[in-house]
Amino acid sequence: MPLGTTKKVLIKPLLLVAILIYAIFTYLHTTEFSYAKDKASLVIENQIDAHNVKNLFFKYNDTFVYIAKLDPIAKEIFDITIFKVEGYQVRYTIKTPLAIFNGQEWDAQDAIVKTHQYHQGDLVKYTVEHKAHIKTLEGYKPKIIESLYEGKSLNIIDAYYTWKLLSQQGLSSDKIRAAFL
């Protein structure tokens, strides 16, 4: 080796710089930096109201959920319907005009709960009940819902919580795991 240096001495500064840069970018992907590409494309395309996600349908525990409109910025869902199906029968439906995210779950306000009663497989009657508040969709953060159904970016922390949530629900997490690669 010329100049009396070893390979280790020459590679050490390069390796340290590479590790530092990798650590900085990993940290940045735990912040809003991860969403910069999505936000930039909205600005370039001059899209107004582009953050709203419409007509979503997905499984939540043993129920199905339909969301007419999600505003992930305001953390609000407009016109949400949750229904439970067993076999070929709808057991109950919950319909609410507004649900607000409180940090952990959604607070459905002014909910109407219709419980269906069956006799020998036929719907006999249903009861209607009004509830001021119902807690639902625990763990489904607005960014998670938006990302899953609109293909938006996720930061590392949100991706981890999404993977964990999908695993708990028994749903495929292939899309989220691919984001880590």
The per-residue pLDDT for range 96-135, each reduced to its tens digit, is 999 999 988 999 999 999 999 888 888 888 899 999 999 9
- pLDDT score recorded for residue 170: 77
Amino acid identity, residue 46?
Answer: N
> What distance, in Å, lies between the first and last C-alpha atoms of the chain?
38
The pLDDT mean for the chain works out to 82
With the CA atoms of 68, 81, 35 and 171 taken in that order, what torsion angle do they form, in degrees rounded to the nearest 10? Answer: -130
Tell me the C-alpha distance between 137 and 61, whole Å: 9
108-123 CB burial, b ≥16 within 10 A, e <16:
beebebeebeeeeeee
- pLDDT score recorded for residue 133: 92
| Averaged pLDDT for residues 159-174 | 78
Residue 88 has pLDDT above 80, yes or no: yes
Least Cα distance to 34 among 161, 143, 154 occurs for 154
- pLDDT score recorded for residue 7: 83
Residue 173 has pLDDT above 60, yes or no: yes
Beta bridge partners of 113: 94, 129
Of 29-43, 52-66, 158-172, which range is least confident? 29-43
Segments making up each domain of the chain, as ranges: 2-30, 49-180
Least Cα distance to 144 among 98, 86, 114, 104 occurs for 104
Tell me the C-alpha distance between 149 and 114, whole Å: 28
The model carries a pTM of: 0.68
Local confidence band at 79 (pLDDT 50, 70, 90 cut-offs): very high
Element (H, E) at 46: none
Local confidence band at 86 (pLDDT 50, 70, 90 cut-offs): confident
Q: By three-state DSSP, how is residue 83 classified?
A: strand
Tokens of 120: 């020998």
- pLDDT score recorded for residue 97: 95
